[in-house]
Structure 1
Amino acid sequence: MIKKGKKVGLTLQIQTSYNQLTKAEKKVADYILANPEKVLYMSITDLANVCEVGETSVYRFCRTMLFQGYQEFKMQLSLYLASEENNDSALDSSKLEDRVMSSHIQAIEESYQLLDAKMLQQMIEMMEESKKIYFFGVGDSLQIAQDAWNRFIRITDKVSIINDPHMQSMAISLGGPEDLLVLFSYSGATKDIIHIAKQAKEAGVKVVCITHFKQSPLIAYTDAYLLCGSKESPLEGGSTSVKVGQLFLVDLLFQTYRSRNKAVSIENQHKSTRAVVEKLV
C-alpha cells in the first residue's frame, strides 16, 4: 500500500491498493476511478446508492485508503483534481466573469427545476399556522438564515433567529407544536443541525429545511423541504453560487407568504420602514 503522506496521485493510490479491497470496496473504487468529478459533489449516501453497496462499504474503502472518513477522502480528491486542472491549462482570466455569471444563473435554474410546488405550499401553510418561526443555520448556512430573518422581520413579528448552536438547541427544546423551525444546511449532514432537528422533533416542533441532498440525515427529521441547486466541492465551502440558489428559495418563500397575507404584510412593512426612516440619509 502507498502511504497517504507520499506525493502520489490519488487515482494511482487507489489502483495500487485495488487488490487489497473487498468486492464491495472494489465497486466503490471502480466508480471513483471512472467518475472522479461526479464523486466530488456526491454525499456518502449518493455514492453508496450508485455503487449498489452500503454506506459502511464506502466508509471502509476510505479507511482502507488511510483516510479518516469520506469527507477527508473528498477533500483529497478535490485537491488532486485541482492540481490536475492546473497542470493541464491555465485559467483564462478574460472569461472569468462569464464563468462566475454562468454558475450563478445555473444555481437559480437548478433550484427552480428542483422546486416542488406541493412542498412550497406546505411550508407556507405551516409558516402561516405557526405562532413562532425560528430560522437556524450553522457556519455559512447561518448567513442564509440571517438573510431569511431579515426579509421576514419586515412583514411579521413571529420570526426569530439565534446564532449560537448551543443557544439554538436550548431554545428549540422549549418549543412546541405551534412553533416552526426552518433549517438551512447545504449538506443536510452537519452534526449541530441534525442535533437541533432531533431536539425539535422531540419537543413537537414542526421542522422544514432548505438543503441540497434529498437523501441526507436531515430529511428524516423534516416535515417538508426544498432543494437548492448548484454544486459545492470540499474546497468551495461558502460557495457564492450555493448561496444564490438558497436565496432564490428564500425569496420565493417570502414573496409567496407576502402575497397570501398581503394586507397585514403591507401594513407591517410600512411600520417597519417608518421605524428606521429617520436613520436613513
Structure 2
Amino acid sequence: MQEDYITKIRSAYNQFTKAEKKVADYILANPRQVLFMSISDLAEACDVGDTSVFRFCKTMNVKGYQEFKMMLSLSMRSGDSSLSATEDKTITLEDDIAELAKKVLSENISAIQETYSLIDSKQMTEAMNALTDAKRIVFFGVGTSMLTAMKAMNKFLRIEPKVACNMDAHMQLIMASTLTSNDVALIFSYSGSTKDTVEIAKFAKKAGAKTIVITRFTKSQLTQYADILLLCGANEGTLQDGSTSAEISQLFLVDVMYSEYYRRHYKKCKPTWDKTRDAVKDKNYM
C-alpha cells in the first residue's frame, strides 16, 4: 500500500522520546506548514533542539530532515484521505450531540482508511499463508480485544472448523502453552502493552507457534514476539478510551483476512459455509 507519513508517525509514536513526541505532535497538527519550515524553524516551534528534530527523522527511517519533508510532501500530493485525520476530532465537554456524532463518524471512517493505508501486502500474504498451513488457528485477546478475538473466531468458524478462542485470560495462557509449530496464534491488542496479552504471546512463541499480531504501534512489548505484524489505525482521545474505532480498525483487517481465506479456499470453504448456514437457518422468524 502507498506509504503515508502522517499515518506512519502515529504508528511509531510510542517509540519516540519526549522531545521527539513534541516534534511529532507539531507535525501532526501542522503538516502543510512544516513543508515550508527549516529544521531550526521546526525545532523552535516545538521548543526542542535541532538534534531532536534530526533524531526524529532517524527514528522515521529517513536520512535527514530534507528527505523527511520530501516524503511528507509526496504523501500529501497523493491526495491520501488520511491527511484529513489531522483535523481536530477530539470530543470535548462542550460538544453538542450533532458535533459529537460528526466527530465519532469521522473518527471511525478515518480508522478504516488509516488501517487500509497501513496494510503491508508482504506481511498480509505471509499471514494468509500461515493461516492456510496451520493445523489449528487460535485467536487471543484480553479485555476489549478479547471481544474482537471472539468475533474473528465466530466469523472464521463459518468456513473453517480448525479455529478456537477462549474468553478467560488464564485459559488463553494454557491454550498458548499447548500450541505447536503447526499452529498459528492470532493475537489482538490495540496498545501492545497489556501484560496478559504479552504473556500469551510469550508462551505461544515458546511453544513454537507462528504468531500474528494485530496492533496499533510498530514497536511495543508485544511486537517483539510477533512473527507477522499487521497494523491497525485509530486514535483514542481523552473521552474515547475503549472507543469502537480501535475495534473497527481491527475488524476491518479480520474482514480482509476472512475474505482472502474464503477466496483462496473457496472449494473447501463453501461446503462448510453451507453446513453452518443450514445449522442456524431455522433460528430466525423468517
Query: What is the TM-score when the length of structure 2 is the normalising length?
Result: 0.68
* Aligned-residue offset at 1:97: 2.5
Please name the residue that 2:84 is paired with: none
> For 1:113-262, what aligned pairs fall within 5 Å after superposition?
113-233=117-237, 235-262=239-266
Percentage of identical aligned residues: 38
Matched, 1:93 2:97: yes
Q: For 1:248 and 1:218, how far apart are their aligned partners in 2? A: 21
Q: For 2:18 and 2:246, how far apart are their aligned partners in 1? A: 27
Q: Give the counterpart letter for 2:214 in structure 1.
A: I
Kindly provide the CA deviation profile for residues 195-216 of structure 1, in whole angstroms up to 9, marking residues without a partner as x. 1111111111110011000011
Change (3 A) 1:216 1:263: same
Q: For 1:31 and 1:118, how far apart are their aligned partners in 2? A: 29
CA contact (8 A) 1:209 1:222 kept: yes
Matched, 1:28 2:18: yes
Kindly provide the CA deviation profile for residues 4-56 of structure 1, in whole angstroms up to 9, marking residues without a partner as x. xxxxxxxxxxxxxxxxxxxxxxx837965994997xxxxxxxxxx75999xxx
Q: Secondary structure at the match of 1:237?
A: coil
Q: Secondary structure at the match of 1:181?
A: strand
Please name the residue that 2:75 is paired with: none
Q: Secondary structure at the match of 2:222?
A: helix
Show structure 2 runs of 5+ residues with no match: 1-16, 29-54, 60-89
Q: Give the counterpart letter for 2:279 in structure 1.
A: A
Q: For 1:143 and 1:34, how far apart are their aligned partners in 2? A: 32
CA contact (8 A) 1:173 1:203 kept: yes
Kindly provide the CA deviation profile for residues 107-146 of structure 1, in whole angstroms up to 9, marking residues without a partner as x. 0000000110111110000000001000010000011101
Structure whose CA Rg is larger: 1
Q: For 1:148 and 1:30, how far apart are their aligned partners in 2? A: 36
* Aligned-residue offset at 1:93: 2.9
Q: Secondary structure at the match of 1:177?
A: coil
Q: Give the counterpart letter for 1:28 in structure 2.
A: K
Q: Secondary structure at the match of 1:187?
A: coil
Q: Number of aligned residue pairs: give it.
A: 214
Q: For 2:24 and 2:125, how far apart are their aligned partners in 1? A: 40
List structure 1 segments (4+ residues) > 4 angstroms apart after TM superposition.
29-38, 49-53
Change (3 A) 1:34 1:275: closer
Q: For 2:200 and 2:221, how far apart are their aligned partners in 1? A: 12
Q: Give the counterpart letter for 2:95 in structure 1.
A: L
Root-mean-square deviation (CA), in Å?
Answer: 2.7
Q: Secondary structure at the match of 1:138?
A: coil
